Chains A and B, each alone.
Chain A
Amino acid sequence: DADVTQTPRNRITKTGKRIMLECSQTKGHDRMYWYRQDPGLGLRLIYYSFDVKDINKGEISDGYSVSRQAQAKFSLSLESAIPNQTALYFCATSDPASSDTQYFGPGTRLTVL
């Protein structure tokens, strides 16, 4: 079984809809991250969490919110989706003991019409 899982893997939605992307991990890491990937821009950090009570904004947090329900679960929400949020979204975990190495989920491809 994969260490980091994301659901759904693909989602098509309409402008204005609320969307939640879910991430679960079995690696036992405290640190979790949400990124979006756009062609030519690499990965950009949306939010990150260093433990259940610690949530931090990344470089592109506007229009997004997160919830850290447990050590193993970190959800990303788009309260009112807009077309420029169409992207590939990745969840990742890391362990400081492994020098910031990040472990990624398979990604969620989100299309906002």
Chain B
Amino acid sequence: AQSVTQLGSHVSVSEGALVLLRCNYSSSVPPYLFWYVQYPNQGLQLLLKYTSAATLVKGINGFEAEFKKSETSFHLTKPSAHMSDAAEYFCAVSDGSYDKVIFGPGTSLSVIP
């Protein structure tokens, strides 16, 4: 069965610092991988996704993630944090069978002025 782990339920960074949110997955087949962001009182929205094209995926708001098959990881990064990046971030995996998507537990990002 597929699963997703996100190391760190809460991450705090200073404004302007590097953002690194970790995601590891387990999947028996080449996966589709996603990062979603949830701002307060809103639903989730897609940040970026990997679908077996380029391993480095660029998303909205300056975020990017790199698919590393050998490490079964899909970590999310942003070079310079902005106050508006404070939100909950969810990593998700699908096996591409169009069945369902499995979400990780989420990481809450705080940005300190």
**Same complex origin of A and B:** yes
Q: Which residues of A come within 8 Å of B, CB atoms? A: 4, 31, 33, 35, 40-45, 48, 58, 90, 92, 94, 96, 99-107
Cα-based distance from A43 to B92 in the complex (angstroms)? 10
In the complex, what residue of chain B is closest to A35 when comparing beta carbons?
B103
Cα-based distance from A44 to B102 in the complex (angstroms)? 8
Interface residues of B in 39-57 (CB under 8 A from A): 41-46, 49, 51
In the complex, what residue of chain B is closest to A98 when comparing beta carbons?
B49
Of the candidates B90, B94, B98, the one whose C-beta lies within 8 Å of that of A42 is: B90
Not counting A58-B100, A96-B98, A99-B49, a sample of 14 additional A-B residue pairs whose C-beta atoms are within 8 angstroms of each other reads: A33-B100, A35-B103, A40-B9, A40-B105, A42-B105, A43-B44, A43-B90, A94-B101, A99-B32, A102-B44, A102-B101, A104-B43, A106-B41, A106-B43
What's the count of A-B pairs with C-beta under 8 Å? Answer: 58
Using A45-B100, A100-B32, A100-B101 as known contacts, say yes or no to A107 and B51 having CB atoms under 8 A apart: no
- How many residues of B are in contact with the other chain, CB < 8 A? 23
Which applies to chain A's interface (DSSP): helix, strand, loop or mixed? Answer: strand
CB distance from A27 to the nearest CB of B (A): 13
Q: List 6 A-B contacts (CB under 8 A).
A: A4-B43, A31-B98, A42-B104, A90-B43, A92-B43, A94-B101
On chain B, the residues within 8 Å of A107 by CB distance are 41-43
In the complex, what residue of chain B is closest to A48 when comparing beta carbons?
B100
A104 x B103 contact (CB < 8 A) = no
Using A42-B90, A106-B43, A107-B42 as known contacts, say yes or no to A100 and B98 having CB atoms under 8 A apart: yes
On chain B, the residues within 8 Å of A94 by CB distance are 101
